[in-house]
Amino acid sequence: MALAKAAKNIPFAFYSTDYVFDGAAGPYTETDPTHALSVYGQAKLDGENAILDAHPNALVLRTTGVYGPDPQGKNFLYTLRRVINAGNTMRVPVDQLATPVHVEDLAAASIALVQGGHTGIFHLAGPEFLSRYDFSLQACDILDLPIAQVQPLTTTELNQKAARPLLGGLRIDKLKATLPHITMRSPKTGIQDWKNATA
């Protein structure tokens, strides 16, 4: 919030998440009611509100399931390939759905919104609503990884400590209406591009 106050007269962007929603009826629009299930989601939601209060012309950019080239190799694709190539099983939720976005599309849309002087809340996400398991199957097919080493489990079976929105994800109708030239690539294209970039 202090940064937002200090930047009142210059563009300011804050990244948030679909975890500000409860996952009962996603994917969500910018105007859908928020209801965070976890401390992380609530912290992001509190951040959104504080930023917009401190800097009414700020950008709040909600995103989800970011994948693609990463110097630190920390996103889902790197983990999937690393675990399976090590001969281990990747445990993946079948009931957590979202709209994964390629990091380069996220960056391009963010820059275009800032440069265009746009303000308020925007959703930046991919065009397909699918489960983490289905995303994994697409990745295995493209990366030539054995699908048998991906184990589908429910969120309850995974026993994850923090609550996750099950039907999460974000709609990007507002983004497409604002920036009709922006293209958000499908998981199939995005995974292939990541494979080419990390070969």
Res 8: pLDDT: 58
Percent of the chain past pLDDT 90, that is, above it, reads 87
Separation CA 101–CA 36 (nearest Å)? 21
Q: Is 86 a member of any domain? A: yes
Query: With 90 as the cut, is the pLDDT of residue 165 above it?
Result: yes
- Domain membership flag for residue 131: yes
Question: Is 40 a known active-site residue?
Answer: yes
Phi, psi of 47 (to 5 degrees): -65, -45
Range of the domain at 81: 2-193
Give domain status of residue 156, yes or no. Answer: yes
Residue 99 lies in a domain: yes
pLDDT of residue 172: 98
Tell me which residue has tokens 């675990």: 83
One DSSP character per residue, 57-88 reads T-EEEEE-SEES--TT--SHHHHHHHHHHTTP
> Quick one: pLDDT at residue 162?
84
Q: What is the structure's pLDDT at 120?
A: 96
Is the model's pLDDT at 93 over the cut of 90? yes
Mean pLDDT value across the chain: 94
Structure tokens at 118: 């746009």
Q: Is residue 74 part of a domain?
A: yes
Is residue 186 a part of any domain in this protein? Answer: yes
199, part of any domain: no
E strand or H helix at 60: strand 59-63
**What is the number of structural domains in the chain?**
1
Cα–Cα distance measured from residue 102 to residue 48, given in angstroms and rounded to the nearest whole number: 23
Catalytic entry in 15, 19, 28, 40: 40
Residue 110 lies in a domain: yes
We report the CATH number of the domain holding residue 60 as: 3.40.50.720
Average pLDDT over residues 1-27: 80
Taking 70 as the threshold, does the pLDDT of residue 5 lie above it? no
Residue 3 has pLDDT above 70, yes or no: no
Give the pLDDT confidence of 107-163 residue by residue, as tens digits: 999 999 999 999 999 999 999 999 999 999 999 999 999 999 999 999 999 988 888
